[in-house]
Structure 1
């Protein structure tokens, strides 16, 4: 008992400090690595908008829910094709595996218009949801838990999406403190892509949202008083998954998207299949490889590409965890 009391401050410190960011994005196996969080902009070529800190964003209407904490526009854009799979690798600032296991993972797209997304102001973006994942079919574990063992989050680009410049917004909403209003932790990241092909699909007006604005701290999927109840029927926040994504799913459904990797810190490219949050759907990310090319961008070249239709070749016991969370709740309420 005394040992547990002595260890509790260390555990609390760990939970407070262990947060994270999107370290890399892979497009059908080709990996694009981002910069670690820093208040100073790193000019290294990347498609991922650098965030200033790995710390969580608090409050659904915080401006930082847009593309991450004080994010900087990235210099590059990656080419992608309709139907390509994006794999997001979440890490802590020291590149350890993601530390949390409770809450959804969600992905959005926004059309950057006629300019390359490296020049686009994300505060003007109108987002549509293409993917969401919550609890697994067993009803207990969340898909997010796979990230603690090095798993990736997979999101598939719509098959019939209109070609053009798109900003990808990917997020984790960590719910381990969500029993109280304002307890949810938001982690957002944005990546810049250009989609080729000859598709014609666009989202409908009622599927488009802004960040901040799409969520409220009182939303059923953000204030979750029974978050640790295995019988929880989780309701995702925000709009439904766009019909453009090919699901036609209401907001309570999800598409499976987590890929586990083996031990170690190096990412691997694997297939994934399984259930989402108990809706009986299954999916797979296996398929033929497509090529992606990373290029410096100008608004001129981006506009041209959009018009051609070209296809571009960690473990703490449940008791101790509860003590930790109660300690944090007491701290926040004081």
Structure 2
């Protein structure tokens, strides 16, 4: 009986841990849904474009070595790639999410190879294609992008229409800010093959390593959303570089967004 009770407590603790957070479990492009990595299933036999991650728990160190795609950045045992045309949208789906406060960001990185199958994410240079943070109200009591994920369990980003074709990683990150000065990072990645006739690519000013795109003391990272100052703050500085889009490089300097 004692062993049974202990076993029940272990199972319960795992359920509580799993229920507390979340991670991307599938991706949709053009009406087709592709399986993502399943952290609580055996790795063997998982055929997916998603990069492996071991749990729904957050990364608590803002400059952790695993911030790029979670874990060590390698592919799973049977890697796939999702083919998507530049200018099309990709939607990440979460099986669960529980936090309302914080931004959503989406990054891409060129793999510099025909596919990303043998490319580790740890040494890549990333550019941001999508972001949303505080949507309305104040930092203390407002509407956040994380709240939209909580309600819909999905987030959609569009691949820049003029991006040159090739193999890329895409990285969706939820940054939870519900604990004062204790940011929680939840990044998940997938392998893409981008098609199209574009020839644009971000300049070096938009390319950043991860970790390295922000510091541990970044004002969007080290923040107490319950402070007196937060009660009157109506804007929030999303960590990382500005969003890159084709208009930044194709239009005259005076017209760039």
Q: Secondary structure of the equivalent of 1:147? A: helix
CA contact (8 A) 1:161 1:200 kept: yes
Paired residues, number: 228
CA distances 1:249-300 after superposition (whole Å, capped 9, x unpaired): xxxxxxxxxxxxxxxxxxxxxxxxxxxxxxxxxxxxxxxxxxxxxxxxxxxx
Q: Secondary structure of the equivalent of 2:48? A: coil
Instruction: Give, in whole Å, the separation in 1 of the partners of 2:136 and 2:200.
Output: 31
Give the alignment of 1:22-33 within 5 angstroms.
22-33=24-35
Instruction: Give, in whole Å, the separation in 2 of the partners of 1:48 and 1:56.
Output: 17
Q: Which moved more, 1:109-118 or 1:221-230?
A: 221-230
Counterpart position of 2:84? 80
Instruction: Give, in whole Å, the separation in 2 of the partners of 1:87 and 1:247.
Output: 24
CA contact (8 A) 2:66 2:122 kept: no
- 1:204 Cα deviation from its structure 2 partner: 0.6
C-alpha RMSD of matched pairs (Å):
2.4
- 1:138 Cα deviation from its structure 2 partner: 4.8
- 1:42 Cα deviation from its structure 2 partner: 3.6
Counterpart position of 1:67? 69
CA contact (8 A) 2:73 2:120 kept: no
Counterpart position of 2:134? 135
Give the alignment of 1:152-301 within 5 angstroms.
152-177=154-179, 179-180=180-181, 183-226=182-225, 229=231, 231-244=233-246, 246=247
CA contact (8 A) 1:17 1:55 kept: no
CA distances 1:114-168 after superposition (whole Å, capped 9, x unpaired): 2311211111110000000112245521121122233411111001000000111
> Any gaps of 5 or more consecutive residues in structure 2?
1-14, 250-257
CA contact (8 A) 2:178 2:225 kept: no
CA contact (8 A) 2:51 2:189 kept: yes
> Any gaps of 5 or more consecutive residues in structure 1?
1-12, 92-96, 249-334
- C-alpha change, 1:39 and 1:15, in structure 2 (3 Å) is closer
Instruction: Give, in whole Å, the separation in 2 of the partners of 1:149 and 1:209.
Output: 31
Instruction: Give, in whole Å, the separation in 1 of the partners of 2:126 and 2:242.
Output: 12
Counterpart position of 1:290? none
- 1:69 Cα deviation from its structure 2 partner: 3.2
**Larger fraction in strand:** 2
